[in-house]
Structure 1
């Protein structure tokens, strides 16, 4: 069955089509939610809430982007909403910000992906979200600003500061022998 047909059936509340669409995307969307939630139970809750929201708002899906990308954005928004509900998220005052672009994300070859992910988890919340959305989810600053409801300048600044903190955290890996 073509995806367009499947989505059209879902729009008509065809439960079998909804189940097919759910099965097609549930594993990938769980992975996205789990990167944010760090807890399988919360990630499953977020994923379920995201699918419910997607099925409720399916009439708003217009096909401009791939369905998976549209659904992923809902999962990310639900993840961030759940995290915000449990903690206060501080916003940055855009007026006093100056951004210097630095696209060098290289790290020592001896540092593992797991160590990088663990270091990202240690970042302050406002830097962690932007860093995850940029590095792990591949969003640009315009998309991040829309998702987090911050300016593009704030997105760039938080990414730059998060990157600096991330480099500091990774510098102390391998028993502090790296400089």
Structure 2
């Protein structure tokens, strides 16, 4: 398969999933989409570094996460001016998630520290294995298991009072 065709296939298969992951970092849908597009360009230019061509998703996740972390770092350095005050309104995605029946879960997951949030999302929503998450995040499998366990513990505390069995049924049927 030609490299251009491979890029088209990746975009078609993974754009939405990678955008969701990027959104958890930058919390701005258009910025997340831009970062994913930039990540696809990086992936295209460094496709020769892909170790397992049959499973590109974990590798693409790592590229997106790195891109988001770099963007977050760069944004911290920027100082808003008094002439252009930031007028931040809620994005459509935020409004949708607030109105949906699983807004408590979304809020609880988004409130987790990044080191727990990312493994939880990759494991439960993107269905990556512990090994794939470890490779994507450049951590040991033991560290991923620990972060998943601690993330689940924090979610249990945050979701106390929400019917956990009802949520489990809702997510297992999805």
| TM-score category (smaller protein) | 0.5 to 0.7
Q: Secondary structure at the match of 1:65?
A: coil
Question: Equivalents in 2 of 1:152, 1:66: separation in Å?
Answer: 18
| Number of residue-to-residue matches in the alignment | 139
* Pairwise CA RMSD: 3.3
Deviation per residue, 1:71-121 (Å, 9 max, x gap): 45533443355457778xxxxxxxxxxxxxxxxxxxxxxx94332121101
Which one of the candidate residues 32, 52, 56 is aligned to 1:43? 32
The equivalent residue for 1:118 is: 107
Q: Which has the higher helix share?
A: 2
8 Å CA contact 2:58–2:136 kept in 1: the answer is no
Question: Equivalents in 2 of 1:38, 1:158: separation in Å?
Answer: 22
The equivalent residue for 1:131 is: 120
TM-score (norm 2): 0.61
Question: Equivalents in 1 of 2:125, 2:109: separation in Å?
Answer: 10
8 Å CA contact 1:127–1:158 kept in 2: the answer is yes
* Cα deviation, residue 52, structure 1: 0.9
The 1:64–1:20 alpha-carbon spacing in structure 2 relative to 1, beyond 3 Å, is closer
Deviation per residue, 1:117-153 (Å, 9 max, x gap): 2110111222112211211121222222222222211
The 1:24–1:126 alpha-carbon spacing in structure 2 relative to 1, beyond 3 Å, is closer
In our comparison, the structure showing a higher alpha carbon Rg is 1
Structure 1 unaligned residues grouped into runs of 5+ = 11-16, 88-110, 175-179
Question: Equivalents in 2 of 1:152, 1:59: separation in Å?
Answer: 25
Q: Secondary structure at the match of 1:171?
A: coil
Q: Return the structure number with greater relative CO, CA threshold 8 A, min gap 6.
A: 2
8 Å CA contact 2:11–2:40 kept in 1: the answer is no
The 1:121–1:150 alpha-carbon spacing in structure 2 relative to 1, beyond 3 Å, is same
Q: Secondary structure at the match of 2:159?
A: helix
8 Å CA contact 1:77–1:147 kept in 2: the answer is no
* Cα deviation, residue 163, structure 1: 0.3
| 37-46 vs 118-127, which moves further | 37-46
Question: Equivalents in 1 of 2:24, 2:129: separation in Å?
Answer: 18
The equivalent residue for 1:24 is: 12
Question: Equivalents in 1 of 2:56, 2:138: separation in Å?
Answer: 22
TM-score (norm 1): 0.60
